[in-house]
Amino acid sequence: MNLRPFLPMLGLLFAATALAQPSAEEVVRRSIAYHDPAGVWMTRAHHLTLIETRPGGKDRKTSLVLDYPTGGFSYRSEREGRVVEAASDGEHCSATLDGSADIPDDLRERYRLSCEGVQWWHAYYGYMHSLPMNLADPGVRLDPEVKTTTFAGREAYVVRVTYEEPGSDTWYFYFDPVTHALVGSRFYHDESANDGEYIVFEDEVAHDGIRLPKTMKWHVNADDRFLGADIIEAYAHDGS
């Protein structure tokens, strides 16, 4: 079969396909527009109540505030029959265990209630529950190539992300190719070792236009072992 007459048409088809594939910057921009259409995430104090499930353990109920205008953070969690509370204003921190600030060193370490530990909780919850809005933060490096893949049984765009901070993990974020909703993520400490975990995002919780992933299911990269789920039971923000 002589394909020569069809070559110009094939070239146009390949060109159109290439143009249809958005850049990483565009995918992230569309995803942020989907989850935070008014662009107000960083101007609000966000109140979340979570149910955290772990295989073989009791569910934990955690309430937290991510106050972006002030840089503040507060946290209350019921863990192993104890009430853990902590707060930070960005410079100072405080913590109590069962209402007492006199916390034995071993329990302070166990529940991360030192100032360094409180900062860790702030960074962890702030990072996970600010996705994908924080993918536009300074220091985020987006690999420009967007690939189409299958993640958790669904077709998705995948964007590779690294950070300017030395020693940071390598992340992959997965987006619905139609709505650009964030549907999952994966991180590696050492990608060549296939370590790290992946997180499947399911359902959504919405308030005043902001849409957040409702359920995050954590798994081990190496063997798909299920680690637990974090479920947003309630969400609201100031200024609505």
Q: Please count the CA atoms within 13 angstroms of the CA of 59 that sit on its side-chain side.
A: 10
Buried b (16+ CB within 10 A) or exposed e, 42-56: eebbbbbebebbeee
Structure tokens at 67: 């106050």
Phi, psi of 235 (to 5 degrees): -145, 140
For the stretch 117-169, pLDDT in tens is 999 999 999 999 999 999 999 999 999 999 999 999 999 999 999 999 988 99
Sign of CA dihedral 118, 124, 129, 130: positive
Give the pLDDT score at 4. 57
7 within a domain of the structure (yes/no): no
Q: Could you tell me how far CA 84 lies from the centroid of its own chain?
A: 23
Band (pLDDT 50/70/90 cuts) for residue 21 is confident
Q: What is the CATH number of the domain that holds 136?
A: 2.50.20
Residue range 40-80, pLDDT digits in tens: 999 999 999 999 999 999 999 999 999 999 999 999 999 98
Neighbour count for residue 131 (Cβ, 10 Å): 20
| Length, in residues, of the chain | 240
Q: Which has more confidence, 86 or 2?
A: 86
Alpha helical stretches, state H, 68-205 = 105-110, 115-129
In a domain, 128, yes or no: yes
**What are the start-end ranges of the H helices in the chain?**
7-20, 24-35, 105-110, 115-129
Task: Find where tokens 């662009």 sit.
Answer: 39
Predicted confidence at residue 112, as pLDDT, reads 96
Q: Are 93 and 115 a contacting pair, CB within 8 Å?
A: yes
Torsion of CA 184, 190, 193, 197, to 10 degrees: -30
Interatomic CA distance for residues 240 and 97, integer angstroms = 33
Given a cut of 70, whether residue 3 has pLDDT beyond it is no
Residue keyed to tokens 């979570």: 50
* pLDDT at residue number 240: 52
95 in a structural domain? yes
Residue 3 lies in a domain: no
Could you give the number of structural domains in the chain? Answer: 1
Query: Which 3 state secondary structure label does DSSP give 179?
Result: coil
Residue 64 lies in a domain: yes
Band the pLDDT of 5: cuts 50, 70, 90.
Answer: low
90 confidence band (pLDDT: 50, 70, 90):
confident
Range of the domain at 123: 23-237
How far, in Å, CA of 173 to CA of 161, rounded?
8
Cα angle, residue 216 at apex, residues 213 and 217 outer, rounded to 5°:
150
Alpha carbon distance 104, 97 (integer Å): 9
14 within some domain: no
Cα separation values, 40 from 44, 45, 46, 100, Å: 7, 10, 11, 36
pLDDT, averaged across the chain: 92
Q: Is residue 5 part of a domain?
A: no
Domain assignment present for 68: yes
What would the mean pLDDT of 191-219 be, rounded to a whole number? 97
